[in-house]
Amino acid sequence: MKKLDASIIIAFKNAIGEENVIIDHDKLIFYATDHSIAQAVVPQLVVLPSTTEMVSEIMKICYANEVPITVRAGGSGLVGGAVPTHGGIVMDIKKMDKILQIDEANFQVTVEPAMITEVLQNTLKSRGLYYPPDPSSRGTSFIGGNVATNAGGPRAVKYGVVREYVLNLEVVLPDGRIIWTGANTLKNSTGYSLTQLMIGSEGTLGIITKIVLKLIPHPTHDLLLLAPFMSVKDASKAVSAIFKAGITPSAIGELMDRKAIDWAADYLELDRMDIGDTIKAQLLIEVDGFEIDQLQKECEKIYEVLSQFEVDEILFADSAAQKNELWKLRRNIANAVKVHKTYKKEDTVVPRDHMPQLLEAIEQLEIKYGFDAICFGHAGDGNLHINIVQGDRTDEEVKHWHQALVDLLLTVKKLGGTLSGEHGIGIVQKEFMPLMLDRANLELMKGIKSVFDPKNILNPEKIF
């Protein structure tokens, strides 16, 4: 790691003000990790810009001096994207957190990247407007981080992921130039889509400083069902059956396998027995819309479909308190897993109908390699979060599990799936990119990176 020259530190202070530059080691430590298992790396310096122009000035200094830089948003990433692996500097964008314009006539909002997703959603809701992408981390993650990772969430199954809502982006390029990637229009066929290229680029191509999002009217009603199943495979087959019956729930297959249920119950200090021994999985199913009668009819139809499977008593919620109660277990699985040392978190995605085969393959790998996998996720999208728990085992004891990951990912590929449905690649998943993508694909991606960032200063060592 090359040590930062004193003259560069002075240049940053002159460009954006001393108060916006952190060099105190105790404060720098905060920036060494995100929510992933990536190895912690303390940056040498942190800059806190509050305007696009400041971001541009910072980038000009980095570019001229070939200083590596990593942007950090909410730090909730699960693949180490915001970790300054190379030990250079971190740009904390938290001061750029404003809504700049709500254009109700055109159903658009322009925001700065550090707006917390949930805060944006609540503000828009009070005006009857809806920005649907809702990662479970929406209380802490930033909209800029969501765009940079192309985040998903439970409601992606009906409304789609972040990619579907971004119309235009202001971006600062590695050399400091400022561009808009597109136009604030619903259609745009003007050359390559730089907007779409930036979405999911994980801070490797440019720094997103303004975001124009497409909005829709906010649904006025929603209803929630919780279906307990005797088998996890039945639960995942029921997901496809609901779609085949012509219903598109606003969230479905918030699937929890038995281990995930038990872990979340223990974390919340609930009695496991209350859930019933025979229950092996639960599905959360939500419908939303503007007519309550229509939603009730949809629920009846869902009941009909579910009754073709071995299900226990289906719970129904229409009040906010009841809904919170039903979501409680699902929302706490990640917290429950966090208490234990995790060997690896996978974010695999397969075509929805192949989920039962994926679950079966995981069971076989658990037996073969002797590990516990806590599985939950967005079954409606075929997106399964597989948490392999290390617990008290030493690194030496779990060394052979690496082969289990390779076996798992090759199975995912065979099922027509891929490595990440919504968390991205960052540093944690990059070793598996050649397993998933052809050499030609990787060469094209690397070529794009070198056009945007010829000096490789923006979040180097990430993705590939």
Comparison of 132 and 135: residue with beta carbon closer to ligand FAD: 135
- Which are the contacts of 2, defined by CB distance < 8 A and separation ≥ 6? none
In the complex, minimum distance from the CB of residue 18 to ligand FAD, in angstroms, rounded to a whole number: 23
Q: In which element (H, E) is residue 211 found?
A: strand 207-214
Cα–Cα dist 345/387, whole Å: 4
Cβ-Cβ contacts under 8 Å for 1 (sequence gap 6 or more): 44, 86, 87, 88
Give the shortest CB-141-to-ligand FAD separation in angstroms.
4
Cβ of residue 180: shortest distance to ligand FAD, in angstroms? Answer: 14
Residue closer to ligand FAD (CB basis): 11 or 116: 116
Secondary element (H or E) of residue 101:
strand 99-103
Residue closest to ligand FAD, measured at CB: 145
Rounded Cα distance between 290 and 311, Å, is 29
- Pick 261 or 365: Cβ nearer ligand FAD: 261
Q: How far is the CB of 387 from ligand FAD (least distance, A)?
A: 11
**CB–CB of 390/372 below 8 Å?**
no
In the complex with ligand FAD, the residue whose CB is nearer, 78 or 281, is 78
Cα 247 to Cα 21, 125, 147, 301, distances in angstroms: 52, 25, 28, 8
Contacts of 375 (CB under 8 A, 6+ apart): 232, 255, 257, 259, 260, 359, 362, 384, 385, 386, 387
In this structure, what token pair is assigned to residue 317? 């919620």
Of 61 and 71, CB closest to ligand FAD: 71
Single-letter amino acid, residue 19: E
**Residue closer to ligand FAD, measured from CB, 70 or 387:** 70
Please state the closest distance from residue 144 (CB atom) to ligand FAD, in A.
Answer: 3
Q: How far is the CB of 220 from ligand FAD (least distance, A)?
A: 24
Smallest gap from Cβ 382 to ligand FAD, in A, equals: 14
- Cβ closest to ligand FAD, residue 338 vs residue 400: 338
Closer of 356 and 421 to ligand FAD (Cβ): 421
3-state secondary structure of 257: strand
Give the integer Cα–Cα distance in Å for 98 and 115.
6
Q: Which CB, 87 or 221, lies closer to ligand FAD?
A: 87
Rounded to whole angstroms, the Cα distance separating 34 from 308 reads 43
Question: Is 242 within 8 Å of 287 (Cβ atoms)?
Answer: no
Least distance from ligand FAD to the Cβ atom of residue 125, Å: 19
- The binding site for ligand FAD (CB under 6 A) comprises 34-35, 70-78, 81-82, 93, 113, 135-137, 141-142, 144-146, 148-149, 151-153, 202-203, 207-208, 334, 422-423, 426, 459
Report the b/e string of 329-343 with b at 16+ CB within 10 A: bbebbbebbeeeebb
Smallest distance, ligand FAD to C-beta of residue 282, A: 17
Q: How far is the CB of 199 from ligand FAD (least distance, A)?
A: 10
Give the phi and the psi of residue 258 in degrees, each rounded to 5. Answer: -60, -40
Q: Closer to ligand FAD by CB, 334 or 359: give it.
A: 334
Q: Which positions ≥6 away from 54 have C-beta within 8 Å?
A: 15, 16, 20
